[in-house]
Structure 1
Amino acid sequence: MTVHPVMAATLEDLYSSQTIVNGKYEKNRQSGFKRCLDAVLVRVSGDQRLPAKPEMTALRDKAGSFVAGFRYRDRMEGIPNHDDQGTYDRPHNLSCQYKPAEIDPVLASLGSRPWLAERPQLAVFLMTERGTMHYALDADDDRGMPMRESFGNAAGSLAMQVAFPTAAQLSRAGLDDQELRNAEMTKLDTLAKKTGADQALSGSLVWSDKELGWIADWRLAAAGKTIWQVRGVGFDEAFRVAIRGAAQILSGNGQPE
């Protein structure tokens, strides 16, 4: 099983977030601070519902006051500017660092708390179908690389780890893509543990012309089998929904919507 190791190893790593801004303008920085506040609250708590709370409006207005430090990284580093306009509008990663003493009271004011327990490594068992093409995502197939990388990025935003079974592991378990669709979570959890992960995250990703995007169904065994879905999205968003839902369940913040 191939692991994407993106778990937060330290509090400093956990209490951080980043977003993309154009240039280093003060206005864009303040907008970035607002997005970073949303992101760090979800990252620290595991609760994806926090940004929708009405109290967030006032908190975003002073988002910069919670930032202990920030830095920029030019996303086009090494690429020469084509004109003077490009000098100012080049996209940058804006990374924000926070202190628990600032963020924990904000979480408390929202009825939440930090999720400081060691975060489990999830083994991803995914069936993908588009038209006549269907396959199980594994750690070996080159066509699955963009999806594996996308899943790793989604996990990284929540300081979690994901891993993918090899084709041989799936074959030995008798799990082709059709079997994965209906496999019992107990069987997948057992296989996940045998391959070094903590538990299984199972999903199906089916393209819909009607929805103009993917329909993704996700399953996780925690306090019973939990199922959640998203429709009409790209696979990047489908995987973000998967990880956010898993984090919400595992952090004790209830069921995904």
Structure 2
Amino acid sequence: MRRIPGIALVATLLALTLFASPFAQAQSGLRTEGDAAAARGLYQAEVSVNGQGEAERQGGFARALGTVLGKLSGDRGAMSRPGVGAELRNARNYVASYDYRQDQGTSPTGAPTFRTMLVVRFEPDEVDALAGALGLPVWPQPRPKPVVWLAINDGSGPRLVGLPQSNAARPLLNRAIERGYTLGLPAGTAAEQALVGAIWRQDTAAVARASSRYSPPMQLVGKLYRDKGGWTADWVFVDAGKVLAKWSVSDPDARRAMSAGADGAADALVKRYGKRGSAGPAGTYRVVFTGIASTDDYLRLMGHLQKMAVVRRITPVRASGDLLELDLELVSGMSGFRRMLGDDAPFTGGEGEPPTYRLR
């Protein structure tokens, strides 16, 4: 049997595991809707809810859709982008199915805890169209699985976290999943354990050579250590031998300092490989509407435009007879506007330049 490296390290790893994220605790949770009640893939998410009532469910749908848009785009600030918050209120329109799961865990005091999780699965094509219409960047698939070379020092010397200690890295691994990709750990062989000095020096060339047996040639190199009453994590992300990003995080909670490694790697990957949305650039577009014969027609048109998440501002330009010319400030191009019209739109058409629509 392989000797366990360092009693002090084991204690640290166990402590991190005991206070691992709720996602890890959920693995042993009680499930009320069958074993399939779990979120898998980019278009699924699970959120904690206070019950199974309609209001809680609708709020859960909104938060779950925000999570999925974040994973799809790789943008951790996706929910704060223009138009996204407004459309999250219509999240139920994108839901394919949902389940509930009851999770049992343990609090820091040892008392049992219970949480109701709402597991939501969305329609991929509908979510793709929404992301495009809202001008979100696209992080293409398939996505890489960088190898994490993480060393932890709790005061007794740095030790490598390999596959045998995967639970200790659970906050980091889970955060990567939340960001829409996965991270891998090295096998933790004796030769790899000996690489801990290079990790501590942030010798990325030595780490890259040791990582050549793994694919793809991407490494997330980090060291986590006690610092000023808390923890500090220093990170470097390397792609094909090129350093894409370096950052440091200090936090009283080791889990948060660790999970910041997944955020930094995701940000670097999206910056390098993300693509512009397909609905066109944000801007102001001239649009013509005809068939407006009364005040009620005008209010019906304006009410629909104002509730469209893709429309930021409406500026009247000219009115003549039954014709109304507007400048619409959009979060994406006219393609995004057309995608967001919906079956309940009170107008049809869109041909010509500027595009012309007729009120039904």
- Give the TM interval when normalised to the shorter protein: 0.7 to 0.9
Shift of residue 140, structure 1, vs aligned partner: 6.0
Helix, strand or coil at the partner of 1:166: coil
Matches within 5 A, 1:41-120: 41-76=69-104, 90-120=114-144
Paired with 1:209 and 1:32, the residues of 2 have a C-alpha distance of 38
Q: Is the 8 A contact 1:218 1:227 kept in 2?
A: yes
Shift of residue 209, structure 1, vs aligned partner: 3.8
* Paired position in structure 2 for 1:216: 233
Helix, strand or coil at the partner of 2:119: strand
Matches within 5 A, 1:234-245: 234-245=253-264
> Taking structure 1 as reference, are residues 242 and 71 closer, same or farther at Cα in structure 2, changes over 3 Å only?
same
Shift of residue 230, structure 1, vs aligned partner: 2.6
* Paired position in structure 2 for 1:5: none
Matches within 5 A, 1:100-179: 100-130=124-154, 132-139=155-162, 144-157=165-178, 158-171=180-193, 174-176=194-196, 178-179=197-198
- Higher relative contact order, chain-length normalized (CA < 8 Å, sep 6+): 1
Helix, strand or coil at the partner of 1:228: strand
Paired with 2:185 and 2:115, the residues of 1 have a C-alpha distance of 30
Helix, strand or coil at the partner of 2:245: strand
Given residue 170 of structure 1, which amino acid in structure 2 is its aligned partner?
E
Identity %, equivalent residues = 24
Helix, strand or coil at the partner of 1:14: coil
Given residue 56 of structure 1, which amino acid in structure 2 is its aligned partner?
V
RMSD: 2.9
Shift of residue 29, structure 1, vs aligned partner: 1.9
Paired with 1:237 and 1:65, the residues of 2 have a C-alpha distance of 34
Helix, strand or coil at the partner of 2:271: coil
Give the aligned length: 225
Shift of residue 165, structure 1, vs aligned partner: 4.1
Q: Is the 8 A contact 2:152 2:158 kept in 1?
A: yes
User: For residues 197-236 of structure 1, what are the alpha-carbon distances to aligned partners after superposition, in whole Å with 9 as ceiling and x for unaligned?
Assistant: 54210112223345xx422222112464411233215333
TM normalised by structure 2 equals 0.55
Matches within 5 A, 1:218-257: 218-222=235-239, 224-232=243-251, 234-252=253-271
Given residue 73 of structure 1, which amino acid in structure 2 is its aligned partner?
R
Paired with 1:243 and 1:194, the residues of 2 have a C-alpha distance of 22
Shift of residue 40, structure 1, vs aligned partner: 0.5
TM normalised by structure 1 equals 0.74
> Taking structure 1 as reference, are residues 124 and 90 closer, same or farther at Cα in structure 2, changes over 3 Å only?
closer
Given residue 175 of structure 1, which amino acid in structure 2 is its aligned partner?
L
Paired with 2:244 and 2:181, the residues of 1 have a C-alpha distance of 23
Instruction: For structure 2, list consecutive stretches of 5 or more residues without a partner in the other structure.
Output: 1-39, 106-112, 275-360
> Taking structure 1 as reference, are residues 46 and 196 closer, same or farther at Cα in structure 2, changes over 3 Å only?
same
Paired with 1:233 and 1:66, the residues of 2 have a C-alpha distance of 39
User: For residues 137-161 of structure 1, what are the alpha-carbon distances to aligned partners after superposition, in whole Å with 9 as ceiling and x for unaligned?
Assistant: 33266xx443233333223322423
Paired with 1:149 and 1:253, the residues of 2 have a C-alpha distance of 26
Given residue 169 of structure 1, which amino acid in structure 2 is its aligned partner?
A
> Taking structure 1 as reference, are residues 189 and 118 closer, same or farther at Cα in structure 2, changes over 3 Å only?
farther
Q: Is the 8 A contact 2:192 2:210 kept in 1?
A: no
Q: Is the 8 A contact 1:154 1:239 kept in 2?
A: no
Given residue 235 of structure 2, which amino acid in structure 1 is its aligned partner?
W
Paired with 1:34 and 1:191, the residues of 2 have a C-alpha distance of 43
Shift of residue 190, structure 1, vs aligned partner: 2.7
Paired with 1:191 and 1:225, the residues of 2 have a C-alpha distance of 19
